[in-house]
């Protein structure tokens, strides 16, 4: 089962009765737990998911390429809204397709609400296309989605693909990185990741198949920085849960 997790942070504070001695104080740091799903997980009982374990956020596959739309996206998307689980939608990028057509597919299909996580571009295949073309079309998708919604999308990839193809590109975008290990990702560029997908073998009550597990290293205020709040609504605090 998934639970809100913490790790221990050492903070040095003055020790009572001594001017020069410091003692470690253990302070909990919050981490938020999430899953990401698609039609592969079949029909999900989100009520059971929320009853049996703590799932703070969920990403749902929406689209792929220029015309594919996930058959269970709408069901998952609405269930997450109804149950108050912070939600995000992702597009699986195909390098052989035009970035503008793929962006249109996503934007026409996904109806976002204030507080939803920023759109995600899942880029993990070259599809046999030259790297520079893949990067160019990915940039088109990112630019169109950002200019339309007014928020910078999140890039999802695995650590190997990042190091081989993406390192040095898109460095200003939030990064969701997959590394299936007990050790947290450490990227050669020094770029910090925002979300870590640490397993593809999660067992979650209410989801009949294995599911990806993710962690966000921070609390709700930090997560809000990755969420969509239209400018017309004013400050994020006005609409944050």
Which residues have a catalytic role annotated? 124
| Structure-token match 């703590």, residue found | 54
Q: What is the CA radius of gyration of the chain?
A: 19
Residue 49: phi and psi, rounded to 5, are: -55, -45
DSSP notation for 144-206:
HHHHHHSSPPEEEEEHHHIIIIITTSSTTS-EEEE--SSSPP--TT-PPPSEEEEEEEE--TT
Query: Minimal CA–CA distance to 68: which of 48, 41, 39, 42?
Result: 39
Which 8-state DSSP code applies to residue 60? E
| Structure-token match 């299936």, residue found | 180
How big, in percent rounded to 5, are the helix, strand and coil portions of the chain?
30, 30, 40
């Amino acid at each position: 089962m998934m639970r809100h997790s913490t790790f221990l942070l050492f903070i040095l504070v003055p020790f009572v009765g001594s001017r020069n001695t410091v003692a470690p104080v253990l302070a909990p740091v919050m981490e938020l737990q999430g899953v990401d799903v698609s039609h592969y997980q079949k029909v999900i009982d989100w009520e059971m998911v929320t009853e049996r374990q703590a799932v703070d956020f969920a990403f749902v596959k929406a689209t792929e390429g220029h015309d594919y739309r996930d058959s269970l996206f709408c069901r998952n998307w609405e269930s997450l809204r109804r149950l108050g689980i912070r939600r995000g939608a992702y597009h699986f990028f195909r390098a052989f397709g035009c970035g503008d057509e793929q962006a249109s597919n996503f934007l026409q299909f996904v109806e976002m609400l204030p507080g939803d996580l920023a759109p995600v571009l899942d880029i993990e295949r070259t599809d046999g296309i030259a790297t520079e073309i893949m990067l160019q079309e990915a940039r088109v998708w990112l630019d169109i989605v950002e200019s339309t919604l007014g928020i910078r999308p999140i890039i999802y990839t695995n650590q190997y693909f990042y190091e081989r193809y993406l390192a040095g590109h898109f460095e200003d975008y939030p990064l969701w990185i997959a590394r299936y290990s007990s050790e947290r990702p450490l990227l050669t560029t020094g770029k910090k990741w925002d979300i870590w997908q640490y397993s593809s073998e999660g067992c979650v009550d209410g989801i009949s198949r294995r599911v990806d597990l993710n962690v966000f290293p921070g609390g709700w205020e930090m997560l809000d920085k990755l969420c969509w709040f239209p400018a017309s609504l004013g400050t994020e605090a006005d609409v944050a849960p």
